[in-house]
């Protein structure tokens, strides 16, 4: 009886079923005239008479049968296509496009590589937007060291991990991304206690209270959003990010580090014994590729790697580890840093042998962007290939910049370069996906 609920009014199911049924009847009737046989007896006499005396008058009964069969096929295709579209709208509200393409895309991406992306801020969300076009087997391991803005307030008041970076990743992986991004990123501009909060952060906080667990709240919200992948906090402990500066002073709080305006010597977590969730370690162990960054080196990338046991899990993983270097230096964190300096910071904090390949942008940046960023003290990150080679890390470069709003990585160009490099390392699988990579680069004008 549950199956009959699909026939309830308003679902736009019955009309397309009926249309397909009429098409099937016309197809069978046309074939009976063409082949000179009888299958449906009295029920068929009416349509046969119509074919012989109406369509058959155009030339011959054979021509009438062919036309009826062709009309039947057209109605079947139209009915089934519209039926599939209605089912998709019920199961996945907000989806648009050809339902067969959507179905094929989902089935195809379900066979894609298992990729783990580690980071935070807007950089990780940018990466996920590109990677989700190649696979649905994505796991984002996200920093929870943020203590500023809406996330910081909710963290302090409700004693939950900061939800902001988690929210960005959920939105990036959602099927209905444009709609969800506008809704989840909406910030209240007035109201006592509400001003400054984003709706997505409040929903995560409410779901945590309902589910009783932050990680479970993330997964439940991901299910509601039809997220193609999984988002996991790097730790569920209430951690504080600290930094020892070059002059010996110690700064506590993720948001305070870049504001200090001093050179960072090292960063650390309190408590230092915080551990990653078991799901994060399992995802790393079974991953086909692991990507660190892009994002703020000291406040988005390294806080994940400092979680006890996570860096060692990356070192022992069978998958290649990619590090995506930032395009621009970040004032208060990486002033004057080259690609090699970014890698050296990771080695200083986590030891050697963690990163296999570093990916960096090589190409022009507009004068206007250089001027705007230069006024804030940011400069393009220089590629120092020899220094990278001395660290035993491979270097891959490409035109990866997107200047639509800010100077950041282009989601599709970055993902295409990573996927190409990944399948280059897996030659048996490379041929299977090479056509997809070529099409992506062709569409991007690369």
Domains identified in the chain and CATH numbers: 2-91 (no CATH), 107-444 (3.40.50.10680)
Mean pLDDT of 361-387: 93
**Nearest one of 321, 327, 363 to 342, comparing CA atoms:** 327
C-alpha distances (whole Å) from 418 to each of 39, 99, 228, 357 are 58, 29, 19, 10
Mean pLDDT of 306-331: 95
pLDDT of residue 326: 96
pLDDT of residue 83: 73
pLDDT of residue 108: 72
Give the number of other Cβ atoms within 10 Å of residue 27's Cβ: 19
Separation between Cα atoms, residue 270 and residue 303, nearest integer Å: 11
Judge whether residue 240 has pLDDT over 90: yes
Assign residue 193 a region (left: φ > 0; alpha: ψ between -120 and 50; beta: otherwise): left
Mean pLDDT of 187-197: 71
Q: Is the peptide bond before 81 cis (omega within 30 degrees of 0)?
A: no
Give the number of other Cβ atoms within 10 Å of residue 379's Cβ: 15
Judge whether residue 106 has pLDDT over 70: no
Separation between Cα atoms, residue 55 and residue 194, nearest integer Å: 69
Average pLDDT, the chain: 82
Judge whether residue 89 has pLDDT over 70: no
Separation between Cα atoms, residue 379 and residue 392, nearest integer Å: 26
Instruction: Say if CB 73 and CB 27 are below 8 A apart.
Output: yes
Give the number of other Cβ atoms within 10 Å of residue 444's Cβ: 12
Residue 4: burial class (beta carbons within 10 Å; 0-12, 13-18, 19+): exposed
DSSP 77-120: HHHHHHHHHHHHHHHSTT--S-HHHHHHHHHHHTTS--EEEEE-
Distance of CA 113 to the CA centre of its chain: 13
Mean pLDDT of 113-131: 94
Separation between Cα atoms, residue 161 and residue 1, nearest integer Å: 44
Judge whether residue 404 has pLDDT over 70: yes
Give the DSSP letter of residue 9. T
pLDDT of residue 431: 46
Tokens matching residue 148: 């500023």
Judge whether residue 407 has pLDDT over 60: yes
pTM of the model: 0.75
List, in order, residues 6 or more apart from 114 with CB less than 8 Å away. Answer: 135, 137, 139, 283, 286, 287, 288, 289
Q: Using DSSP bridges, classify how beta strands 250-252 and 264-270 pair: parallel, antiparallel or unpaired.
A: unpaired
Separation between Cα atoms, residue 193 and residue 270, nearest integer Å: 28
User: Which of 57-71, 291-305, 419-433 reaches the highest mean pLDDT?
Assistant: 291-305
pLDDT tens digits, one per residue of 227-236: 888 999 999 8
- Run of H or E including 435: helix 427-444
Judge whether residue 439 has pLDDT over 60: no
C-alpha distances (whole Å) from 133 to each of 105, 130, 258 are 9, 6, 34
pLDDT of residue 247: 93
């Amino acid at each position: 009886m549950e199956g009959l609920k699909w026939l309830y009014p308003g679902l736009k199911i019955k009309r397309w079923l009926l249309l397909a049924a009429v098409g099937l009847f016309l197809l069978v009737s046309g074939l009976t005239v063409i082949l000179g046989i009888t299958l449906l007896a009295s029920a068929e006499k009416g349509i046969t008479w119509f074919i012989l005396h109406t369509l058959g008058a155009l030339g011959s009964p054979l021509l009438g049968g062919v036309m009826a069969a062709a009309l039947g096929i057209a109605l079947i295709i139209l009915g089934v296509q519209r039926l599939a579209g209605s089912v998709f709208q019920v199961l996945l509200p907000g989806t648009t496009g050809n339902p067969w393409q959507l179905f094929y895309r989902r089935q195809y991406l379900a066979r894609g590589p298992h990729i783990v992306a580690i980071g935070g801020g807007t950089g990780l969300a940018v990466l996920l937007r590109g990677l989700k076009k190649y696979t649905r087997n994505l796991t984002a391991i996200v920093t929870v060291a943020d203590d500023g803005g809406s996330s910081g307030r909710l963290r302090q008041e409700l004693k939950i991990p900061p939800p902001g970076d988690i929210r960005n990743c959920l939105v990036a992986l959602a099927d209905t991304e444009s709609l969800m991004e506008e809704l989840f990123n909406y910030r209240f501009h007035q109201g006592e206690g509400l001003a400054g909060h984003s709706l997505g952060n409040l929903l995560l906080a409410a779901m945590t209270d309902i589910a009783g667990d932050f990680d479970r709240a993330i997964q439940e919200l991901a299910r509601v959003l039809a997220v193609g992948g999984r988002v996991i906090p790097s730790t569920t402990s209430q951690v504080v990010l600290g930094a020892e500066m070059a002059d010996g002073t110690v700064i506590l709080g993720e948001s305070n580090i870049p504001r200090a305006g001093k050179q960072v010597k090292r960063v650390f977590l309190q408590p230092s014994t915080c551990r990653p969730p078991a799901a994060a370690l399992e995802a790393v162990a079974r991953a086909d590729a692991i990507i660190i960054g892009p994002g703020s080196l000291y406040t988005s990338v390294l806080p994940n790697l400092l979680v006890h046991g996570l860096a060692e899990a990356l070192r022992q993983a069978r998958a290649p580890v990619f590090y995506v270097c930032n395009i621009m230096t970040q004032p208060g964190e990486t002033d004057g840093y080259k690609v090699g300096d970014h890698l050296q910071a990771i080695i200083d904090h986590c030891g050697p042998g963690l990163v296999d390949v570093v990916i960096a942008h090589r190409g022009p940046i507009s004068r206007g962007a250089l001027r705007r960023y230069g006024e804030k003290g940011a400069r393009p990150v220089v590629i120092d290939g020899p220094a990278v080679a001395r660290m035993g890390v491979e270097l891959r470069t490409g035109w990866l910049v997107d200047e639509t709003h800010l100077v950041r990585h282009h989601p599709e160009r970055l993902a295409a370069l990573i996927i190409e490099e990944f399948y280059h390392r897996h030659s048996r699988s490379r041929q299977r996906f090479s056509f997809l990579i070529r099409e992506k680069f062709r569409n991007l004008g690369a």
